[in-house]
Amino acid sequence: PNAKLLWKRIPNEIKQSNPEIQAVWNVGVKLFKRELSDIYSLVDSVEWPLHLNNIMNCIKEATRNRMLNLIGKAYSYIRLDDVSSFLGYDETRTIEKIHTLGWQYDSETKFVQPKKMPNKTDDSSNATFDELMIKLTEFVSFLEN
């Protein structure tokens, strides 16, 4: 909510003269709308300045971790291409990632059997996500001034 109000306060000339503000806002819109699988391509499509690069990569990884937690909670079996879409990876990278998590993959049926992620990950990823949103809001506020 704070970011939405901040966006409305930023003058149009500042928004137009700073393309990174628009790019950050576009990522924020995807987060607000819970269009999480769109975040990866959006973050990767922008050449971020150094002061934003780490924050945007952290948002991307926090989103990925959040999706892994959701998949682990919601599915007993899920198609590999759906997991790939949720994580923003190609199939090869997805298979590597699910094996590191101890998830089962059947190459004949192309189905993944996820395991539930530990609960403590939920708390830390939510805290990290909230912290990242605060940092983004502070950054945009800084640019406004």
According to the model, what pLDDT value does residue 87 have? 95
According to the model, what pLDDT value does residue 131 have? 75
> pLDDT by residue (tens digit) across 35-68?
888 999 999 999 999 888 999 999 999 999 989 9
Tell which wins on pLDDT, 99 or 125.
99
Tell me the whole-structure pTM to 2 decimals.
Answer: 0.72
Q: pLDDT over 70 for what percent of the chain?
A: 89
According to the model, what pLDDT value does residue 121 have? 47
Mean pLDDT for 105-130 is 75
Q: Which one-letter amino acid corresponds to residue 122?
A: D
Q: Is the pLDDT of residue 122 over 60?
A: no
Mean pLDDT for 92-119 is 91
Q: Which two tokens stand for residue 43?
A: 């973050």
Q: Is the pLDDT of residue 123 over 90?
A: no
Mutual orientation of helices 80-87 and 50-74 as an angle, nearest 10°? Answer: 150
Q: Decide: 125 and 65 in contact? Cβ < 8 Å.
A: yes
